[in-house]
Amino acid sequence: MSASRSENPFIVQSDHTVLVEVDSPRYVEGRDALARFAELVKSPEHVHTYRITPLSIWNARAAGVTVEWIREKMRGLSKYDVPRHVEIEIAEYAARYGKLKLTRDHRGLVLSLSAAVLAEELVRHQTVALLLGQRIGSQDFLVEPAERGRLKQSLIRVGYPVEDLAGYREGEQLEIILRSETRGGLSFHLRDYQREAAETFYAAGTARGGSGVIVLPCGAGKTIVGLACMARLQTSTLVLTTSVTATRQWSAELLDKTTLPGEAIGEYSGHTKDIRPVTIATYNILTWRRDRTDRFAHLELFDQRDWGLIIYDEVHLLPAPVFQVTAGLQARRRLGLTATLVREDGREDDVFALIGPKKVDMPWKELERQGWIASARCHEVRVAMPEPLRMDYAVAFARDRFRIAAENPRKKDIVREILAYHPDAQTLIIGMYVEQLRELADELEVPLLTGATRQSRRDELFTQFKAGSIRLLAVSKVANFAVDLPDASVAIQVSGTFGSRQEEAQRLGRILRPKPGENQAHFYTLVSQDTVEQDFALKRQLFLCEQGYQYEIHDIEQMRQKKLAEQSCPKLPFPTNNGVNQ
Amino acid sequence: MTVNSKMPNSKSTVTLPGSIRGFVERQATRPLEILFESPDPLFYPYCEYWRRAVAAMLLSGRIAAKDDGFPNMTDVNRICQEANFDQYLFEATGKFLVMAKIIRRSGRTSRYEPAKFGDAFWNRQLQPLQETARQAFLELVQHFTPSRVWRPTLAVSSRLDVLVALFATAFADLAIPWDQAGNVFLEFSQLPAPDLIDLGKQLGFKKRRSDRAGWGRWLDEPGQKALLSALSVSSWAYSTEHKKQTWIYLSDTARIILGLATPPELPVPVVDFKVLPNLCVLAGADLPPEKLVPLFRHCKIKRIDRVFELQLDKRQLTETTPQEPSVWNLREVLEESGPLPATADSLLRHRPLGGGEIRIRGCSAIVQPESAEVLDAIRQHSRLKGYLEVGAPKGYLLIKQQSNPSNFIQRCQELGFKATILQS
């Protein structure tokens, strides 16, 4: 291998994955090339993994990338020869793009195929044939507007992407302008990556844009990207969020950073049903029904105004009924926002088919390097269980073991010690079990916020926390998402939802908002040693590890023994805001 | 007709004698260029990443060797499921590795160990590989020949490899129908001896008039099947579908091993080696077995490709380490990739509980007194303490194996202790 080739960053595997060495001098060139035709699967330190899929190739073709360009880049940047079958298969995938086009003319929606043979193949396909309308030529079919989403979904499943050039409804006109100075008197302008994300979504107003998902880390300003898209489109907008708190935050951001008057913004939740040109609703209210046999009465909200844009905040949590409605909303522009496009139910494909393809995916560490989000140190603190509890754990049924481990009473002492190491930091104590949190909150005299806390009380606590009048706040999983607590710099996770990767990432996200000064956050996760909780913790950490975060592991017993042996200060060597305290 | 034994890497040009040329022309052949739009480039024989993976998996100890030396298929199925690898390919490759003396069953145990040609395989040395692969091919013919079928000689003396070489030269770049292949081989072997000898001479084989008769005896119906199976298992022939018919053709591997084609340059070795914080281990397929085997033993196999992807897994470590303390060997191997990430370091530092000591002692009953005071009173009581076994778990009492629990209960009641049997 020539010296120059050995420094190339790609290793192309025969299963279409591409390993990319981050330390290669040509890494940046390689990353930029791959971003156009492959999907980032994971990005731990040293080696990132991308995958070339039919979808990623079709996305590339849609953006004007040619097969020759892909081949040239892969050969030029690979350390070893590119497997021949990979090149052949990429060419085959690419050839499929553009064979099916969906357009609109005086006859309505028309699906045009590139060859009569293909038409014959599709009419014989059970699920596709049901969704095709009248055949109006050897290669053309009419399509019912209501079936537009489902047809695209079915065709993608049989391996034929549709180039949807039928356009969107413009929706009600609405003047939205981003302010250069916020109502609070601060200077405001879009960051480069926010502007690029909005422009990528907008695609100069053509039918090639207008639907898709933007993936940005927590704290990177997804809401701002949403506002920028609204300002580009100048149309009435329905925003769907995960909680009333998030609804209020969207409302506050709209008022603060756009010229929209207060009366143009409505909230549609369990508390208020106010439909305005910009309406912010919760997923909960949309999927509410009296009983399992009843219909979802609030889904009518989608038809109650001529929305020109629908924004799905935290799109990875989109509930199934909203997916179904979205299949019928393909004529409206759709924007999905998330930090973690990881669905624990594995429905990422439905997000792709019904909301749209991933338009932007910004690695967390990249934004950290640029200083747009706080740098974070993650710590896993392993706490031994007291001996009697250890026996209870050993004889417990498998289903009870996780809870026994998660509620390990020794965690309380560690929480105290961590708090002592960060005496001035705004700190969140996050847990899954309310009883455990209540005990902690009582002992530490910390306010507690759970699902049972009234909305007015939640707003009050969040306001006090933001204002700094309270420094510590214990929160259950209600604060996992879309809660903006800009000054929190320490999070202590005392328990979590089993192996949920997105919950771990979202919880870290609570402390990633950029901070004045050293812009440093600390995330502690407390796990009981040698228990299933430790195994689940490993799985929880995968997403963040893949984003380049490293967990420092602290074994409390080992540290204590070492410290006692050295007869030094028995305090634990956790890092402080000023560095590592040894 | 003049043919190159394999374009463009042919050693020499040979002229087919008339009878052989006529025979080839009479067969229903298909040129390979029709079957494959763009034929694969010449491969270096027996150095594919999947073959090295199979060898590493066999040596890892996760697959037992059967009495006949071949891999236990229950183990093979389990590991193939984990690694998403074709178990039929594994089985065939495993058989070849055993026959080629690259690995062997270790004494009378069920473990595998490197055999005579192990180094040649791992270090990609062509000459010893040619020697052992030809021998393995003949052994495979013997293996696939039913034992009830009588043969005048053993397959190793049959010189069927020479027949394959002549055949490969005559049918260069041509495929023949799979269902006729056995018969075509038989008829080919019975062509006029002088012509076969002439072709053999051109290819550098020693002249032996007796070959023709011997081949005829080996190529009856069971022999034809055995020959085709051996060709397939040793990767000397491949088959492909074309227009609803299966075609068979001799591979570049066969040509190179039989000396009919010059091998291509050795491919650049893939020796990348990294341990990532998400506990993923990336290991190039051309790393030496000292590194690969411990990885395949102790890690979960996620992907078999030119760079193997393995996953450090606590459960897997717990299951594999009690049998040997080689987790430390694994640690040494991993440390050669550079400083270990904290997650991997912590996992390897953790002493697997599976390796702990287990002490088993019989008892006739376990007793749970209602309080620590009652427990203490029973333990101290002169008429009860004789029933008790030492070393009970905290909060419990154990009744000695030879004592009758009913007597203990009766005596407790007589002495005023309230006792209840919870479960018999």
Q: What does the alpha-carbon distance between residue B8 and residue B35 come to, in Å, rounded to a whole number?
A: 19
Chain B contact for A553, CB < 8 A? yes
Q: Give B155-210 pLDDT, tens digit per residue.
A: 888 889 999 999 999 999 899 999 999 999 999 999 998 899 999 889 888 767 66
Contact A116, A138 (CB under 8 A): yes
Q: List, as ranges, residues 384-403 from A with C-beta within 8 Å of B.
A: 387-388, 391
Chain A neighbors of B342, CB-CB under 8 A:
550-553
- Give the H or E element holding residue A538: helix A532-540
**One-letter amino acid for residue B414 of the chain:** E
Burial (0-12, 13-18, 19+ Cβ within 10 Å), A487: middle
From the candidates B265, B268, B278, B300, which should be mutated to test the interface with A, based on the most A CB atoms within 10 A?
Answer: B278
Q: Give A17-67 pLDDT, tens digit per residue.
A: 999 998 899 988 888 788 778 877 777 778 888 889 887 888 778 667 899
Closest CB to A44 among B268, B277, B393: B277
| CB spacing of B38 vs A84 below 8 angstroms | yes
Q: What does the alpha-carbon distance between residue A69 and residue A72 come to, in Å, rounded to a whole number?
A: 5
> Which among B231, B206, B216 has a CA at the least distance from the CA of B158?
B216
Contact B174, B31 (CB under 8 A): yes
Residues of B near A (CB-CB distance < 8 A)? Answer: 38, 40-41, 267-268, 270, 272, 274, 276-280, 282, 303, 305-307, 314-315, 341-343, 345-346, 353, 393-395
With CA atoms as reference, the chain B residue closest to A539 would be: B278
Contact B5, B14 (CB under 8 A): yes
Collapse the DSSP code of A190 into the 3-class scheme (helix H, G, I; strand E, B; otherwise coil) and give the result: coil
- Give the H or E element holding residue A228: helix A222-233
Q: Give B103-125 pLDDT, tens digit per residue.
A: 999 988 899 999 999 999 999 99
Calculate helix-pair angle for A222-233, A192-202, nearest 10 degrees: 50
pTM as predicted: 0.70
| CB spacing of B394 vs A391 below 8 angstroms | yes
Q: Give A476-513 pLDDT, tens digit per residue.
A: 987 776 566 667 899 999 998 888 887 888 888 888 88
| CB spacing of B277 vs A84 below 8 angstroms | no
Collapse the DSSP code of A169 into the 3-class scheme (helix H, G, I; strand E, B; otherwise coil) and give the result: coil
Q: Give A95-140 pLDDT, tens digit per residue.
A: 998 899 888 888 989 999 998 889 999 999 988 999 999 999 899 9
Closest CB to B282 among A1, A47, A553: A47
Tokens of A504: 């771990």
Closest CB to B341 among A17, A391, A550: A550
Q: What does the alpha-carbon distance between residue B403 and residue B405 come to, in Å, rounded to a whole number?
A: 6
Q: Phi/psi class of residue B358: alpha, beta or left (left: φ > 0; alpha: ψ in -120 to 50)?
A: beta
Contact A523, A379 (CB under 8 A): yes
Q: Give A310-353 pLDDT, tens digit per residue.
A: 999 988 877 777 777 776 778 889 999 988 776 666 666 677 77
From the candidates A2, A42, A80, which should be mutated to test the interface with B, based on the most B CB atoms within 10 A?
Answer: A80
**Lowest model confidence (mean pLDDT) among B252-266, B367-381, B398-412:** B367-381
Closest CB to A15 among B282, B303, B342: B303
